Amino acid sequence: MLYLFQNIPIIGTLKPFSDWRKDISRFIWQGRKPRIKLKNLSDDRTRGGMNLPDLRLYYESTAISWIKDWLLQKNKKMLNVEGFNLKSGWHVHLWGSPDKNEKKTFRNHIIRDSLNKIWEEYKKRMFPKTPMWLSPLDLIQKSYQRKSNWPTYRDLLTTQGNNYVLKSQEEIVISFKQVTWLHFRQIKEQFNIDNQTGFMRKDSDWEKILESENKTITKIYKKLLEWDTETEYVKTCMTQWARDIGRPIMYEDWDKIWNKNIKFTYAADLKENQYKMQYRWYITPKKLGHYRKNTRTKFWKCQEKEGNFFHMWWTCTKSKKYWNEIHKECGKIMKKNLQMRPELYLLGLTNTKLDMNEEKILNYLIIGARIVFARVWRSNQIPSIAQWLSKIWDIKNMDKLTFLMRKHQGTPMKETDWSNFEEYTRLRMTHEGKVT
């Protein structure tokens, strides 16, 4: 797909992308009503998304990586082919103001025109100030001098305190012998104009991306994605969680869930549960009643109150009983006083001081409890502690196996210390033995 985009960057409208988006959504949800916004799915994993590729952004990234050649003007051969009928230089078209006829000529070329549309859409956001790749002489010269290799601001400027200043003519001539005193005066003139808006920092993101030699498209894509999903920063589900819990959840907390907790969950079912909780995936009688008339909206387990997401997972007396038991056992296993809070058990947010191993174990215990609970989601059952422990046992085996596999593959990870859990199980077994 990328290859295709890279070689035919001539998609003039956004129509195909919205069609593809619809097709992808239809495919993911199999014709049912989508339960997670597509934008959330395509967001980066580090922000709680699932890295589903966004084709439009891929297309735009390949286009920008193409435009990169126009900006940096290193690949002269290519530029001559693509700009065969241009009178003024590339920088005049991309950053300056070409005259009307020139503009028309530029646009009257299918590849140049469609790439330029994308450039116009992003350029001010990428470079709010005068960019470093800009060559003032290219901008000034009325006719395009194909052979010339003029210095860019990156070559011409040097820092003085917090500002960029122009190097002296003597300094410039060391690397650019072709710069005469006339050129230098022109540079100075253009510098004064550009200095009014100021200059991009040499080490700013986009300057660095354009200068980089490899994985450029990936880097551009990441950046565009970050912009695209900015509005989704506070996702609807986060607001709902905050409302249920009764306090705002700090961004650092979500960040911890996405970037730290998720690393403990190599197994797909654990990861899946974590995402499903975050996105409040589980179907509720309330939702069903919303779609189908005459459906009873009472919670399946208590048959008393309306079954909304939070009642089902937490506030219902029946669910609460389950969590109270889990809480008691977790305290015994961890040998810690944990707080009985929904954000701990439903989202995995700890506020007790724990070391890495403890965090990991607690995370397993909690996710295990949720998976076992979700298994009987539609029934009136409440899972037993024994069922929960057997799931934790599975997780423990999986964790050990992962450790051994990694070791074997030469990408070792820290071995989990399960001794507290093992001790707990031994005690529990001898206790049960005595009772019977």
**Region for 207 from its dihedrals, namely left if φ exceeds 0, alpha if ψ lies in -120 to 50, beta otherwise:** alpha
Query: What's CA 31's distance to the chain center, in Å?
Result: 26
- Run of H or E residues at 343: helix 342-347
CB 373 within 8 A of CB 385: no
Q: Which is nearer to Zn ion, 73 or 308 (CB)?
A: 308
Q: How far is the CB of 372 from Zn ion (least distance, A)?
A: 19
Q: How far is the CB of 304 from Zn ion (least distance, A)?
A: 5
- Residue 383 CA to residue 25 CA, distance in Å, equals 34
Which structure tokens are listed for 94? 């991309």
CA angle 194, 196, 201 (to 5 degrees): 70
Q: Is 222 exposed, middle or buried (0-12, 13-18, 19+ CB in 10 A)?
A: middle
Q: Which is nearer to Zn ion, 305 or 428 (CB)?
A: 305
CB 119 within 8 A of CB 67: yes
Q: Which is nearer to Zn ion, 245 or 302 (CB)?
A: 302
Q: Which is nearer to Zn ion, 137 or 316 (CB)?
A: 316
Q: Which is nearer to Zn ion, 304 or 423 (CB)?
A: 304
DSSP 69-121: HHHH---HHHHHHHTTT-SS-HHHHHTS---HHHHHHHHSSHHHHHHHHHHHH
Q: Which is nearer to Zn ion, 202 or 305 (CB)?
A: 305
Q: How far is the CB of 299 from Zn ion (least distance, A)?
A: 5
Q: How far is the CB of 345 from Zn ion (least distance, A)?
A: 17
Q: Interface residues with Zn ion (CB under 5 A)?
A: 299, 302, 305, 316
Q: How far is the CB of 346 from Zn ion (least distance, A)?
A: 16
Q: Which is nearer to Zn ion, 256 or 305 (CB)?
A: 305
Q: How far is the CB of 289 from Zn ion (least distance, A)?
A: 15
- Cα distances from 429 to residues 61, 74, 422, 436, in angstroms, run 59, 73, 11, 11
Q: How far is the CB of 311 from Zn ion (least distance, A)?
A: 6
